[in-house]
Structure formats: C-alpha cells, structure tokens
C-alpha cells in the first residue's frame, strides 16, 4: 500500500470574498509525481504554495509526514522542500556550482561531497562541469538556466519537490527535454514531486496521478488512464479530449503490427493452459484492447490477409508510453 506524504483535509483559501481554493481534499503518495492541472485561476498554484507555507489556508489542515504543516518550523519545512518556478530565479550573483550547492551547503554537507555531487548532477544533464560550474546565470540560455534550477531543487535530496509551471515559457524541444529530465531524476532518486501545469499532455506524460482543478474545486483525482477513459464529468472529458493520450486510444491495432509491437507465435489462438484467447481485428482500436487485457496477458489480433499475431499487455503499455513521449 502506498505511503502518504502529503494530505489536504478540507482545505479552503480565501482572498477577501473570493474563494481561491474551495474545500479541497486529496493525498500525495511518497515517491510519486502528482500533477495539478487546470486553467488559469483554477486554484492549482495556490494549492501548491500552501504545501511549503508560502500561503496559509483559511480553513482546513495540510499534513506533511502526518504532522500539520503549521506545526513545523518554517525553515525546517523548506529545507525538506525543493521549489522550481517558471521564472527560474537562480541567484544572479552566484555561479552555477554555487546555485546547485546551495541547499547541501545549508545542510552542512562537506565541501568535498558537495563538489562531487554538483559535478555528478551537471554531468547528468549534459552540462560539462569544466565548462559550466563557474559560469554565471546570465551566461546561460533559458533552457540551461532551467536545468540548473531543477538540479538545485533536487540537490539537497528533499522529501518533496514543488514545480510551478516550470517549462511553460520554453520552446517545445527544451520543454520535452526537461520533462524527460524530471522523469529521469525522479526515477533515480525516488523523490516525491508535486507539479502544476495548464498543459494536459504535460500532465498525462509526467503524472503518476493527476488532480484536475476548476474554479478552486478539485474535480477528479486519478491515474492518466483513469482520467482519460473515465472522466468525472463533461468538463474533465472536454479538457482532455484533444490531448495526445486521448488520441492514443483511437490508434488502429493494425498500426501496432506495422510498428513492431505484435508478436509471432506458433499457436496464438490458445494460452499455455489451453484457454481460447480473445480475438480482435486490425481495424479495432487500442481502446478496444484495454478491457480484455485487464484480465488476460495477451489478445489475438487478426489482420486482413495476414497471420494472427499476439498483442501482450506489456507491449500495449509500452506503445502507450512511447506514443506519449513523442
């Protein structure tokens, strides 16, 4: 069972008569990427900023490791929290190495260990330490600055990293590269991430789970597949219907054969135990294959004029993942 790191318990945030966050309850599991997605004014950034006490809730409680956030010493809380903003916010009077080393130094990590860590992290994001460690932020491109900002957030090995629309100002290529970087660092360090975005494809690519917000309310929490296949209401459905993930479910199974995701087998019509397999045709879609693959490891795909071939559950999930990463 997943271990809960963050809990929102009937949280509200008011600005005068305006309710920015309206009775929101959800949990964030340790080690997951949890994405809050919604349009401008939906309350997602306000929700994020309450996690590290940049804002205080008007009502309700937020818990971090089972302890109310308002009972933490603010400095102690923020040393356990990395933060990445759209505006990058590197310290302009510090070198790249000094920016990345900021939190490890504040935690009294030795200079030798910190220097080794900085070089390792720079190498991990294809910034040669010999070239970049002594550069100033104004000598970097926007994408390079954002990479350094991400490294700084993760370098102190915080329990959670908060990311507030960090890639929205970047070009599509840099954006894709940095999305992949976050996924890679997250997998290697198993750091919990709460990520805010207005981009549905970004939410679906990054999120282990997604919370959909509108006008301060949390409409639905679920995995990307749950939200795309079983939207809570028409608003959520419309929000995601033009997303890449929505498109993937309409791909013909015959295309998966051409792309190499199907397998040749000697006797594809029966399982090893002799049970008859579910058979689909090449003009059916990925969506049609999902239900039978919930209870079976593979289905049979019969394309017109060709031999029957197997689509395994693992290969279908690989195709969906590959499709989203492009």
Tell me the per-residue pLDDT of 217-268, one tens digit each, with 9 for 90 and over: 999 999 988 898 889 999 998 888 767 666 777 788 888 887 888 988 765 5
Give residue limits of the domains in the chain: 4-243, 249-325
Per the CB < 8 A criterion, the answer to whether 195 and 32 are in contact is no
Sheet with strand 309-312: strands edge to edge? 279-281, 298-302, 309-312
CATH fold group of domain 4-243 = Rossmann fold (3.40.50)
d(CA 114, CA 101): 6
Please state the separation of Cα 192 from the chain's center in Å.
10
Q: What is the percent of the chain with per-residue pLDDT over 90, rounded to a whole number?
A: 45
User: In the chain, what is the straight-line distance between the N-terminal and C-terminal CA atoms, in Å?
Assistant: 32
Supply the mean pLDDT for the chain: 88
**Per-residue confidence (pLDDT) for residue 249, from 0 to 100:** 77
d(CA 62, CA 67): 8
Sheet with strand 4-15: strands edge to edge? 18-29, 4-15, 59-64, 67-68
**Per-residue confidence (pLDDT) for residue 30, from 0 to 100:** 96
Please state the separation of Cα 235 from the chain's center in Å.
21
Are domains 4-243 and 249-325 of this chain identical in fold?
Answer: no
Closest by Cα among 209, 191, 170 to 27: 209
d(CA 285, CA 313): 14
- Residues with Cβ within 8 Å of residue 194, at least 6 apart in sequence: 6, 28, 34, 35, 36, 48, 51, 160, 161, 162, 163
Element containing residue 59 per DSSP (H, E):
strand 59-64
d(CA 160, CA 154): 9
**Per-residue confidence (pLDDT) for residue 324, from 0 to 100:** 65
pLDDT at 59 over 80: yes
The better pLDDT of the pair 94, 244 is held by 94
User: Strand, coil or helix: what is 124?
Assistant: helix
Model-level pTM greater than 0.85? no
The better pLDDT of the pair 252, 28 is held by 28
> Tokens 């004029």 map to which residue?
305
Phi-psi map region of 63: left, alpha, beta (phi>0 left; psi -120 to 50 alpha) = beta
The least confident of 3-17, 53-67, 68-82, 286-300 is: 286-300
User: Strand, coil or helix: what is 219?
Assistant: strand
Tell me the per-residue pLDDT of 270-281, one tens digit each, with 9 for 90 and over: 555 556 788 998
Q: Which one is the CATH code of 249-325: 3.40.50.300, 1.10.10.10, 3.40.50.920, 3.90.1280.20?
A: 3.90.1280.20
Tell me the per-residue pLDDT of 126-171, one tens digit each, with 9 for 90 and over: 899 999 999 999 999 888 888 898 899 998 889 999 999 988 877 7
CA 284-288-289 angle, to 5 degrees, is 105
The better pLDDT of the pair 74, 291 is held by 74
Tell me the per-residue pLDDT of 297-315, one tens digit each, with 9 for 90 and over: 889 998 776 778 899 888 8
């Amino acid at each position: 069972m997943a271990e809960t790191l963050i809990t929102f318990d009937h949280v509200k945030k008011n600005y005068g008569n305006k309710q920015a966050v309206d009775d929101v309850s959800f949990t964030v599991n340790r080690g997951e990427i949890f994405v809050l997605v919604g349009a401008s004014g939906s309350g997602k950034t306000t929700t994020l900023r309450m996690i590290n006490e940049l804002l205080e809730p008007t009502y309700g409680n937020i818990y971090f490791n089972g302890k109310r956030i308002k009972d933490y010493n603010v400095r102690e809380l923020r040393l356990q929290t990395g933060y990445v903003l759209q505006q990058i916010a590197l310290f302009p009077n510090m070198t790249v190495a000094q920016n990345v080393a900021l939190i490890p130094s504040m935690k009294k990590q030795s200079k030798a260990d910190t220097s080794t860590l900085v070089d390792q992290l720079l190498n991990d994001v294809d910034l040669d330490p010999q070239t970049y460690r002594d550069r100033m932020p104004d000598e970097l491109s926007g994408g390079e600055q954002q990479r350094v900002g991400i490294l700084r957030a993760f370098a102190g090995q915080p329990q959670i990293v908060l990311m507030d629309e960090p890639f929205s100002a970047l070009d599509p290529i840099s954006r894709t590269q940095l999305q992949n970087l976050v996924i890679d660092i997250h997998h290697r360090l198993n750091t919990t991430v709460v990520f805010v975005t207005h981009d549905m494809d970004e939410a679906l690519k990054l999120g282990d789970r997604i919370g959909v917000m509108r006008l301060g309310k949390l409409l639905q929490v679920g995995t990307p597949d749950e939200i795309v296949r079983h939207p809570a209401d028409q608003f959520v459905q419309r929000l995601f219907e033009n997303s890449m993930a929505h498109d993937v479910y309409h791909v013909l199974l015959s295309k998966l054969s051409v792309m190499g995701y199907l397998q040749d087998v000697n006797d594809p019509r029966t399982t090893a135990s002799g049970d008859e397999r579910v058979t689909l045709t090449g003009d059916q879609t990925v969506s049609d294959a999902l239900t039978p693959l919930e209870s079976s490891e593979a289905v049979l795909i019969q394309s017109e004029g060709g031999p029957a071939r197997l689509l395994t559950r693992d290969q279908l999930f690989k195709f969906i993942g590959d499709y989203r990463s492009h």
